A and B are shown apart, each in its own frame.
Chain A
Amino acid sequence: MDTVNDQDWYEERLERMVNLYQLPLLRLCYAFLHDEEMAKDAVQETFIKAYRNMDRFRETASEKTWLSRIAVNTCRDMRKAGWFRHTDRSITPDMIPEPVSPPEPEEENLTLAIIRLPPKLREVALLCWFQGMTYSEAAEVLGISFQAVGSRLNRARQKLRSYMEGCEDHESV
């Protein structure tokens, strides 16, 4: 394969990945960043980083896991920005883009509870529950141990339980 054809192949592959993963990544990034425009920027950045590094991607690994890892790191970088940290990022139901049809109240409460979790717990909750990853995949994405994923997920469960029972306010994000 020559270089020109290589590039065509990369672009076709990128387009296919955008078609497949744009939406789940957008929702994942939104849950991290609480801002639709920032989430779109993060998704764009994620795909461009993936495109730049496509040659390093192992064919047999999960594309979704790989893209999620890039997206999580991109969101982490964006969260580290000084202006992000000094902006009120608390989220209320009316700030969420208007749903196609109104969700059940308990669905809305559960979603808000998850995206209000402290960042470390939110990361594992989103990867394991929303992205459907195994503990090992989430551990690989986050660069933490398998046990840490399990223990964080347990803490996330406890927090959610408290929140859903209305006895505890979540830590600020």
Chain B
Amino acid sequence: MNLYKEQELVRKAMNATLSGLREDPYLKARILADAKQEKPVLKKLSVFAVTAALLVVSITAVLAAGLFSSIGQLYRLNGKPERDEITRNIQQVHERYEGNAACCELTGTVYDPAGGVYALSWTLTPLYEGDSLYVVLDSITMGGEPADTRSGIHATGYFLKKETDCSVAGELPESGGTECEITFSILRPSGEIVKVSAPDGEAGAETEKRYRNMLAAGQLPMEGDGWIYCHTGKGGENLSYSDQLLETGLMELTDRFTLKADIGTAGVHETRTYACQETFVSDGYEIRIRSCLVTPFTAKLEIECMTDTRPEDTANGTGTKLKLKVEVPGTEIWSRNQSLTQSCPVLMEDGRWSTLFALDAQALLVFPEAFRFTAGFHDGARFADCSGAVTIRLTDQ
């Protein structure tokens, strides 16, 4: 059964069962009487209010520009005209921790509940010049629920040499909580750091054995991306990464701290809806964009895919797998899907199969008049080249 059928069934059932709840003329009268005593928000602003508002906007823009370096860097926006779009969505925070070896200040947050994403920026500074400190971001929670991270710059697993701008972006947990807690461990190695890489042809087990031998010899093997190997054997996988590092006995903890902020106090509530009435064909599949919501940080699309036969079983029995690319014509802005969910294929009355996809493209960062959507499919044997495209246009400002 598809969504429309479900809607029809539920509406009919609920309207029949709840038909005893009827329009109440007294309720209407109460509402209108209450309204007469209320004052709606007036549209007109005085010259003073307009001047004050402009001043606030200007000050906010200047302050936000200081925060822009890290979150803007995360979104690769430096020097691009769309930076204003994102800058005004950064909320300033000034949560600070000063510990034994480092100080940290949370500087900016982005909270986009419609897009289901967040971003955080902070500055980390070593207190003593020449100190060797290894930074581990232990966890980020929102409303007590762990929040997934998608990308970051100097977020975790690196040596802190000087004052560093850091940032991370990720998905908000379903709970919708806005109380953010970010926990760090700052470690100081007592063992020798040795840069390592697996020689060509070396099996994983051999690499692991080599690394273990290094740990036993008092050396900390550090891979090319700055990650230090630390698996301490049975039971070690139940520890956090920072605790595993401590378990090696070759690191000491200088600081462990949690910074807290309510990131929802100035959330992003700017959204646009887009639509495309036409269906298009990609790789033999008929596709229709059912809905499209764009926030400054994401584009979320609901897509219906019609097929003559049940889609190939390539995703645990839930049908075919779709990939997408969205592009803003005339610019270099593009994004691929960051996440995808799909419903089970449903057999329609006309004998065709309908599969619904929910797709999420990260960081579109602009509200263009239109963008280009290109689709391709995994057909079980190969990932087909993107072969069908359509333009999705703004419907609502």
Contact = CB atoms under 8 A, between A and B. Distances in A.
Interface in A26-40: 26-27, 30-31, 36, 39-40
Given A6-B40, A98-B20, A147 B360 contact: yes
B146 interface: no
Given A22-B24, A30-B21, A60-B397, A136 B292 contact: yes
B18 A97 contact: yes
B293 A146 contact: yes
Give the interface SS of chain A, mostly helix, strand, loop or mixed. Answer: helix
Given A14-B35, A132-B7, A107 B293 contact: no
A7 B115 CA distance: 35
Nearest to A111: B17
B217 interface: no
A137 B38 CA distance: 29
B36 A11 contact: yes
Interface string A129-148: 11010111101101111111
B202 interface: no
A171 interface: no
A126 to B, nearest CB: 9
A148 B43 contact: no
B32 interface: yes
Nearest to B293: A136
B374 to A, nearest CB: 20
Counting contact residues on chain A (CB < 8 A from B), the size range is 35 or more
A100 B341 contact: no
B21 A97 contact: yes
B11 interface: yes
A40 B27 contact: yes
B203 interface: no
Interface string B109-120: 000011110000
B24 A55 contact: no
B10 interface: yes
Contact of B40 (A55, A60, A98, A154): A55
B273 interface: yes
Nearest to A97: B20
Give the interface SS of chain B, mostly helix, strand, loop or mixed. Answer: mixed
B18 A107 contact: no
Given A26-B21, A97-B21, A103-B17, A11 B292 contact: no
Counting contact residues on chain B (CB < 8 A from A), the size range is 35 or more
B174 interface: yes
B172 interface: yes
A74 to B, nearest CB: 13
A143 B113 contact: yes
A73 to B, nearest CB: 12
Interface string B7-51: 101111111111111111001101110111011111110000000
Interface string B294-306: 0000001010000
Contact of A47 (B31, B273, B292): B31
B56 interface: no
Given A11-B36, A134-B302, A140-B293, A18 B17 contact: no
B22 A128 contact: no
Q: In this complex, which of B27, B172, B292 has the most chain A Cβ atoms within 10 angstroms of its Cβ?
A: B27
A104 B302 contact: no
A151 B115 contact: no
Contacts of B39: 7, 52
B396 interface: yes
B174 A148 contact: yes
Contacts of A44: 27, 30-31, 34
Contacts of B6: 128-129
B281 to A, nearest CB: 23
B114 A154 contact: no
Contacts of A31: 14, 18
Given A135-B302, A143-B176, A55 B18 contact: no
8 contacts: A18-B28, A58-B397, A96-B17, A100-B20, A136-B291, A145-B116, A145-B300, A150-B341
Interface of A: 1, 3, 6-7, 10-11, 14-15, 18-19, 22-23, 26-27, 30-31, 36, 39-40, 43-44, 47-48, 51-56, 58, 60-61, 96-101, 103-104, 106-108, 110-112, 114, 120, 125, 128-130, 132, 134-137, 139-140, 142-152, 154
The 5 closest A-B pairs by CB, nearest first: A145-B116, A97-B20, A129-B10, A111-B17, A107-B13
